[in-house]
Amino acid sequence: MTTPAVTHLTGRADPAERTVVLAFGTRPEATKMAPVYRALQATPGLRPLILSTGQQRQMLDAALNVFSLTPDRDLNVMTDRQTLADLTARIVPQAGRTLREMGADMVLVHGDTSTSFCVALSAFYEGIPVGHVEAGLRSGDLREPFPEEANRRLTGVLSTLDFAPTPGSRENLRREGKGDHGLFVTGQTAVDAVREVAGRVPLRSEWQARVDAGQPLVTVTMHRRENQPMMREMAQALARVARAHPDHHFIYPVHLSPAVQEAVRPALGHLPNFELTEPLDYSDMAPLMAASRLLATDSGGLQEEGAALGVPVAVLRNVTERPEGVEAGVLKLAGNDPAQLEAVLNDLLDSEPTLAAMRAARNPYGDGQAARRIAQAVAWHFGLQDRPADWE
């Protein structure tokens, strides 16, 4: 008689396998962790599971669909107009206990969201080692982005393995006293994700028709909490840029946050060349970014995705934790002051030579192999393979 495989989450299918739980709750984390999940799946001796906090119910679920991922457990914490304290008070007590029930030998968190920090803290309380993907990014200003700069610093205090996307992010961690033992430069998993999706999914036909007719596309996103107090004025500045460029078509997938919706829709909803959409699935977003003349954004991920696709990015912030793209020339800081961002965007759209130079910049965020390197480092941590000689 054969013994059925153990598939429930409190046990292991194979007792020799190490269970690595990927924990995330927002749309960008799901997108950037999907390649890591696949790479772990392909690594002998490792068993990846997914713990969703459900911090962003609809936007997360849409992202999971695109990559055909199904969480093994879901804390479903999202509430309407949730505060940072609400999220913290709901995630911390549940996450560690759930990781234990899942048999986690390690948890991987990503970047700088409240999910990342709270899961890392809860795992630390349970004695479960934490691996930090997208570690070491620093803007140097605790208020910008808020609260993300604090979240990533705090997560770095708790982590055992750190996967820095660039040599610069590794230097940030070394400066904070991290030793080299568990510190790896891997590249950015966003590069892995955007190249895969933009390469296989065509642009939506109505946008392709505009490109075919010679109408340039500009993709806009804006959602940061520290930008929300002046988001209405920033949106009005974007409206003036759109009016000054009637030959361009602006597309803005508006974040579901009520604070963002209320600031943006009145200023931009009525312009003929400004299309406000629901949040887009990554399968629409990646080809849209690839087809755009310019991205104007306060997001972190779009800065890397623009760089990976060779699309110029105007960053609607005063500081960025992604300085490599500014140094390489593909990112330009436009700030969040309405008059200044209007001037910067107008200058960029009116100067094809400037945009051409930005397009030609080197991508500093990696070669699309970040997820594979992360899986190898996790396997090395568990003694399943040697530390390859070419690792930085």
Applying CB under 6 A, which residues contact ligand UD1? Answer: 26-28, 55-59, 78, 80-82, 112-114, 147-148, 223, 225, 256-257
Instruction: Provide, rounded to whole angstroms, the least separation between the CB of residue 25 and ligand UD1.
Output: 7
Radius of gyration of the chain (CA): 21
Q: Which of 112, 149, 304, 324 is catalytic?
A: 112
By beta-carbon proximity to ligand UD1, the closer residue of 26 and 320 is 26
Instruction: Provide, rounded to whole angstroms, the least separation between the CB of residue 149 and ligand UD1.
Output: 10
By beta-carbon proximity to ligand UD1, the closer residue of 88 and 215 is 88
* Annotation says 225 is catalytic: yes
The residue with tokens 């060779």 is 310
Residues 355, 290: Cα–Cα separation, whole Å: 14
Alpha-carbon distances, residue 167 vs 171, 183, 188 (angstroms): 6, 11, 11
By beta-carbon proximity to ligand UD1, the closer residue of 331 and 348 is 331
* Annotation says 223 is catalytic: yes
* Annotation says 134 is catalytic: yes
By beta-carbon proximity to ligand UD1, the closer residue of 89 and 356 is 89
By beta-carbon proximity to ligand UD1, the closer residue of 246 and 258 is 258
Provide the 3-class DSSP secondary structure of residue 34.
Answer: helix
Instruction: Provide, rounded to whole angstroms, the least separation between the CB of residue 235 and ligand UD1.
Output: 16
By beta-carbon proximity to ligand UD1, the closer residue of 90 and 249 is 90
Residues 302, 311: Cα–Cα separation, whole Å: 10
Provide the 3-class DSSP secondary structure of residue 159.
Answer: coil
Residues 294, 311 contacting (CB under 8 angstroms): yes
Residues 94, 26: Cα–Cα separation, whole Å: 17
Residues 112, 97: Cα–Cα separation, whole Å: 22
Instruction: Provide, rounded to whole angstroms, the least separation between the CB of residue 46 and ligand UD1.
Output: 27
Residues 307, 312: Cα–Cα separation, whole Å: 7
Q: Which of 144, 148, 149, 305 is catalytic?
A: 148
Half-sphere exposure for 283 (CA within 13 Å, toward CB) = 10
Instruction: Provide, rounded to whole angstroms, the least separation between the CB of residue 173 and ligand UD1.
Output: 19
Alpha-carbon distances, residue 216 vs 16, 257, 271 (angstroms): 55, 28, 16
Provide the 3-class DSSP secondary structure of residue 108.
Answer: strand
Q: Which of 170, 255, 293, 372 is catalytic?
A: 255
Instruction: Provide, rounded to whole angstroms, the least separation between the CB of residue 145 and ligand UD1.
Output: 7
Alpha-carbon distances, residue 202 vs 216, 290, 298, 301, 378 (angstroms): 17, 10, 25, 21, 34
* Annotation says 255 is catalytic: yes
By beta-carbon proximity to ligand UD1, the closer residue of 132 and 248 is 132
Q: Alpha helix locations (H) across the chain?
A: 27-41, 57-66, 84-101, 114-126, 148-158, 167-175, 189-200, 205-212, 231-244, 258-268, 282-291, 301-309, 323-328, 338-349, 352-359, 370-381
Instruction: Provide, rounded to whole angstroms, the least separation between the CB of residue 327 and ligand UD1.
Output: 23
Residues recognised as catalytic: 112, 134, 148, 223, 225, 255
